[in-house]
Amino acid sequence: MYKLPFEEINKLFEAVSLNTALYVPVKKNDTVVYEKYSENTIYAYDELNTVKSAKDFFFPQVQDIAQFKLRGKSIEIINNEEDYESFAVFGVRACDAKSFEILDKVFLAEPADPYYKERREKGVIITAACEKPDEVCFCTAFGIKPWEPSGDVSVWISGGYIYWQANTQKGLELTGKIKDIFNACEENEIEYFKAQIKNICGKLPFGNLDLKYFKETDEKDIFSSSVWDEIYKGCLGCGTCTFVCPTCQCYDIRDFDNGKTVERFRCWDSCMYSDFTKMAHGNPRKTQKERFRQRFMHKLKYFPMNNEGIYSCVGCGRCVRSCPQKLNIVKVAEAFSHD
Amino acid sequence: MTESLIPSVGVVTEIRIDTPDVKTFRVVGRNGKKCFNHMPGQCAMLSVPGVGEAMFSITSSPTNTEFMEFSIKKCGCLTNWLHMIEKGQEILIRGPYGNHFPVERELKNKDLLFIAGGIGLAPLRSVINYVRDNREDYGKIDIVYGSRSKDDLVDYQEIINEWTADKDVSVYLTIDRDQEGWDGHVGFVPSYVKELDFDTDKTVLLCGPPVMIKFTLQGLIEMGFDKAQVYTTMELKMKCGVGKCGRCNIGSKYVCKDGPVFRCDDLEELPDEY
């Protein structure tokens, strides 16, 4: 472990960005977003999290697939030549760091998604411990420790210092290139800080979210529960929850005719949308109830069934903050725990 | 292995008009050879740039080494477009996707009962011809096929000229309502299957409209068949074909990857959302 006076954090950013493109959370128009580091970048260290998750770095909202040129009856395929640059994302929270492991189970499962795989290999994740988890955070319900975030490198900002610890080979390599800027430090200097975070987490209202019902009940029984008949009712089908969610990975494949070629791309999609499963001959999810049910069944039952019991939720709280109707996974879990 | 979602070019070399709303398209690669190999029951993504991309069952048998065929009913945007194209048109194709009928395992040496309704013959035709081409590996073959009218029987000529000519293959055709020039059976598939009173030791391959599947399966159970003896093939909206785009699931199973072929007892374990 190394440390650096926090006021010199830009020295750290400079050093990292000399080696690789660097993205840092910044405040912009009252929200927090990732921005490519430049000398004017001001790291929003006191903001809890970015409005969208960090999944864009590996699973961008739009991914070009190919272009097609039509001439008479023939089609010419033009493959997109894409350069995948190496990059580092700084300040990723423990919840989002865990979400990459969940996305890996989808995109790296055979046959792997080449776009995701390439970005995953090129990216270094630098996580930051959460100094102040807030009342909508519930990552601890999924066994995540915001005082000990995973990632290639973990940092802690405490007592006027930033502490740096490499966890993986990628993290060690990056550290090796920049370590001249750091001071040495004792391993136990931040134990008290970690204990403080742990203490806050113990008091969070949703931190012990009860998922026993989903774990122990048969998928068909949860599916046919009458709880769904009521709980979906406020849902507007706007899809905001899926777009801010770090683990939502559904996508669409679409064509755009630009007049010269047809561009095929994939983009984020949402199971909350009415046309998500609509076919020429009908739609198996006819009302918002079925779509709402699908989203939560997927995260709390279907995904764990296929992935050794791991839930497809990391408790980041974004859906709790973003839903215009104040519906969210916490309300769903709680409704069933009283069932 | 990776899946880039990038299709390759396929050339439509023949278009056969089967019924008023079904055409069968013969597709090869630009080099004149088959685009890829498949197993009976597997599917392919066909697309027309700017129009759409959708999953279709491969109608031809893997034993056909020259080309692939797709029997496609006109019912949406892409299929309407496909019905308007002419011979020589290039389309896009990727695949094969999904599992297949267990022709090398569970179906081997069994007496097979194929039951199809309407365009539901399309995926079964691949298995029927595969089994006919490997005749010594399978027992007796019975085929029950029904549609709205005589004109709606897909690929009637092959059925009449080839299937009925095979020894050890019995073909039972039926149409919903009587019509001139038809001296065969009249009535719905589920009741015809019951009338035919098959031995219950057969393995059944069933495909058709959802309501036909439902009532046929019900009838088979009443006749003494077990759901574990019946295989069917499913269809839901798909985008990727490899279990990642997230929309073709029935409960925890993805039709594109875990299906499209399901044994009916396994299907019964899943939530009723298809």
Q: End of a domain among A203, A220, A250?
A: A203
Both A141 and A69 in one domain: the answer is yes
For A74, the closest of B90, B239, B273 (CB atoms) is: B90
Indicate whether A339 pLDDT > 90: no
| B239, B254, B256: best to mutate for the A interface, most A CBs within 10 A | B239
> Which residues from A are below 8 Å from B271, CB to CB?
219-220, 223-224, 297
Chain B residues close to A121, C-beta within 8 Å: none
The boundaries of every CATH 3.40.50.80 domain in chain B are 112-233
Interface membership of A42 toward B (CB under 8 Å): no
Both A47 and A147 in a single domain?
yes
> How far does B121 lie from chain A, in Å, by closest CA?
17
Are residues A98 and A80 located together in one domain of the fold?
A: yes
Which chain B residues contact residue A104 at CB under 8 A? none
Contact B10, B90 (CB under 8 A): yes
B226 has a pLDDT exceeding 90: yes
B172: amino acid identity, one letter: Y
pLDDT, one tens digit per residue, over B109-158 is: 999 999 999 999 999 999 999 999 999 999 999 999 999 999 999 988 88
* Domain edge (last residue) among A186, A203, A220: A203
Please check whether residues A268 and A320 belong to one and the same domain.
Answer: yes
Question: So what's the pLDDT on residue B1?
Answer: 86
Q: Is B4 on the interface with A (CB under 8 A)?
A: yes
Within 8 A of A257 by CB-CB distance, chain B residues are 49-50
Same domain as A299, residue A183: no
Distance CA(B1)–CA(A11), nearest Å, equals 41
Kindly state whether residues A71 and A159 are assigned to the same domain: yes
Instruction: Compute the distance between CA of residue B188 and CA of residue B71 in angstroms, rounded to an integer.
Output: 22
Which of A157, A182, A203 is the last residue in one of the domains?
A: A203
Give me the CATH topology for the region B112-233.
Rossmann fold (3.40.50)
Q: A113 near A107, Cβ under 8 Å? A: yes
**pLDDT of the residue at A199:** 95
CATH topology for the B8-97 domain: Elongation Factor Tu (Ef-tu); domain 3 (2.40.30)
Q: How sure is the predictor about A81, in pLDDT bands with cuts at 50, 70 and 90?
A: confident
Domain that holds residue A320: 212-337
Q: Say yes or no: A258 and A311 in one domain.
A: yes
The confidence score (pLDDT) of residue A11 equals: 95
Region A41-63: mean pLDDT is 95
pLDDT of A281 reads: 84
A273 has a pLDDT exceeding 80: yes
Predicted pLDDT of residue B2: 87
Identify whether residues A69 and A153 lie together within a single domain: yes
Reduced 3-state DSSP string for chain B: CECCCCCEEEEEEEEEEEECCEEEEEEEECCCCCCCCCCCCCEEEEEECCCEEEEEECCCCCCCCCCEEEEEECCCHHHHHHHHCCCCCEEEEEEEECCCCCCCCCCCCCCEEEEEEHHHHHHHHHHHHHHHHCHHHCCCEEEEEEECCHHHCCCHHHHHHHHCCCCCEEEEEEECCCCCCCCCEECCHHHHHHHHCCCCCCEEEEECCHHHHHHHHHHHHHHCCCHHHEEEECCCCCCCCCCCCCCCEECCEECCCCCCEEEHHHHHCCCCCC
* Cβ atoms within 10 Å, residue B156: 16
Q: A276 and B77 in contact by Cβ < 8 A?
A: no
pTM: 0.95
Residues 6+ apart with CB under 8 A from B141: B111, B112, B114, B128, B131, B132, B166, B168, B169, B170
Long-range contacts, stretch B76-79, CB < 8 angstroms, 24+ apart: B76/A279, B76/A280, B76/A281, B76/B52, B77/A280, B77/B51, B77/B52, B78/B46, B78/B47, B78/B48, B78/B51, B78/B52, B78/B53, B78/B54, B79/A280, B79/B54
Cβ-Cβ contacts under 8 Å, B90 against chain A: 73-75
When pLDDT is averaged across residues A308-328 and rounded to a whole number, the result is 95
- Count of structural domains, chain A: 2
Residue A105 has pLDDT above 60, yes or no: yes
- Segment A128-147 shows an average pLDDT of 95
Q: Where in chain B is the domain with CATH 2.40.30.10?
A: 8-97
Q: How many CB pairs under 8 A join A and B?
A: 131
